[in-house]
Amino acid sequence: MSVFRNDKRNSKLWFLCYLKHDCLKIMPELLSHRSVTESNDGLYKTHRRDQWCAGVRGGSVNIMDHRNKTRVMEFILLGFQNEKEVEILLFYAFLLMYMTSLIGNTMIVLLVCGDYHLHSLMYFFVANLSFLEVAMTSTVVPKMLANIFSLTKAISFIGCLTQSFFYFFLGSTESFILVVMSFDRYIAICNPLRYAIIMNKQTCILLLLGSYLGAFLSILAPSILTAPLPFCGPNIINHFFCDSGPVLKLVCADIALAELADFISSAVLLLGSLLFTGVSYMYIIIAILRIPSVQ
């Protein structure tokens, strides 16, 4: 049995094979650097290092059987791949920004809840927006900061899907609340005499609940289509959190339907909220420009 003569080069080849699950493209390189033992029936018993490309005969490879027997139980978040000194600087920079956002938005929520003079509809939505900002950043930033000093940088399969769900759910809710706030300002400026009738307490609560419900429904279909997909290949995510795009790249099945649902959901949410907010502020600007001519 021959031995590996260039271990460093060979390790890179096997790592590339592991990442891409495409041993056919680099099989000539692998065959020239691995140790094999030929049995009487012509099959090859490969070295332990080529466990991802086992079963080679006549220049062909079959890795689907191995992939079907395994399932990813955790993911590796690569995060920021820099020198240790740079990562330490990034850690303190992101920690400072996270703590500033956390303290600032928490103070806004407490002020709105504690000061009677701020118990108006506009500040009601501002307080909810601050709460969502704290919740959304807390789903990503603490794990990202912990992974900077972690050796494994691992996150469980359930934890990854949960992080992705709540991040997009809370972010989508923010978009809906911004639309509601633009509608609130439109009514206040363009129909000031009817503002108290239209934007009463009951209406505001319904708009807030509708924002949460709309955000939940907008990401429900992509989440349902992504969760049961088989993750049996590499588990390395080139990101600092479980974003939907990098996660879908690791699926070892057809992801066309999941990608389509993700695209439609994102397009409707982003374009719809942008269009409604833009139209509202356009009417607000027109109303303000007409004020001097009326007087």
Q: In what order do the strands lie in the sheet with 154-156?
A: 154-156, 74-77, 236-237
- Which domain-ending residue is among 69, 96, 111? 69
**Residue 277 to residue 186: CA distance in whole angstroms:** 10
Both tokens of 71, joined, read 């399932």
Same domain, 46 and 103: no
Residue type, 111: L
For the stretch 226-234, contacts whose Cβ atoms lie closer than 8 Å and that sit 24 or more positions apart, written own/partner, are 226/161, 226/258, 226/262, 227/161, 229/253, 229/255, 229/258, 230/71, 231/71, 231/72, 231/157, 232/67, 232/68, 232/70, 232/71, 232/72, 233/21, 233/67, 233/72, 234/18, 234/19, 234/20, 234/21
Q: Is residue 17 domain-resident?
A: yes
The pLDDT value given to residue 85: 83
Same domain, 143 and 266: yes
Both tokens of 264, joined, read 């439609």
Q: Is residue 61 domain-resident?
A: yes
**Residue 234 to residue 74: CA distance in whole angstroms:** 10
Same domain, 241 and 149: yes
pLDDT higher than 90, residue 103: yes
Name residues whose C-beta falls within 8 Å of residue 91's C-beta, 6 or more positions apart in sequence.
Answer: 145, 148, 149
**Residue 259 to residue 244: CA distance in whole angstroms:** 9
* Rounded average pLDDT over 166-187: 93
**Residue 217 to residue 270: CA distance in whole angstroms:** 14
- Quote the number of domains for the chain: 2
Q: Which domain holds residue 25?
A: 7-69
Same domain, 235 and 90: yes
Same domain, 118 and 241: yes
**Residue 6 to residue 34: CA distance in whole angstroms:** 10
Same domain, 167 and 108: yes
Same domain, 36 and 114: no
pLDDT higher than 80, residue 88: yes
The pLDDT value given to residue 23: 43
Same domain, 207 and 181: yes
Q: Is residue 1 domain-resident?
A: no
Share of the chain above pLDDT 70, in %: 75
**Residue 208 to residue 184: CA distance in whole angstroms:** 12
* Per-residue CA distances from 224 to 75, 165, 177, 228 (Å): 19, 10, 24, 7
- Which domain-ending residue is among 28, 48, 69? 69
For residue 261, the tally of other CB atoms under 10 A from its CB is 18
CB 261 within 8 A of CB 227: no
CATH, residue 217 = 1.20.1070.10
* Closest C-alpha among 57, 88, 52, 82 to residue 69: 52
Q: Is residue 132 domain-resident?
A: yes
The pLDDT value given to residue 104: 94
For the entire predicted model, the pTM comes to 0.70
Same domain, 27 and 80: no
The pLDDT value given to residue 287: 87
The pLDDT value given to residue 183: 92
Query: What tens digit of pLDDT does each residue of 190-248 get?
Result: 888 888 888 888 888 999 999 999 999 999 988 998 888 888 878 888 888 888 888 88
Query: What tens digit of pLDDT does each residue of 241-271 get?
Result: 888 888 888 888 888 898 999 999 999 999 9
Q: Is residue 2 domain-resident?
A: no
Q: Are strands 236-237 and 74-77 parallel, antiparallel or unpaired?
A: parallel
Same domain, 49 and 127: no
Q: Is residue 179 domain-resident?
A: yes
Same domain, 58 and 79: no
Tell me the pLDDT of the chain averaged across its residues.
Answer: 77
pLDDT higher than 90, residue 282: yes
Same domain, 59 and 81: no
* Rounded average pLDDT over 77-82: 79
Query: What tens digit of pLDDT does each residue of 116-173 get?
Result: 888 888 888 999 999 999 999 999 999 988 888 877 888 888 888 899 999 999 999 9
The pLDDT value given to residue 293: 56
For residue 47, the tally of other CB atoms under 10 A from its CB is 19
**Residue 30 binned pLDDT confidence (cut-offs 50, 70, 90):** very low
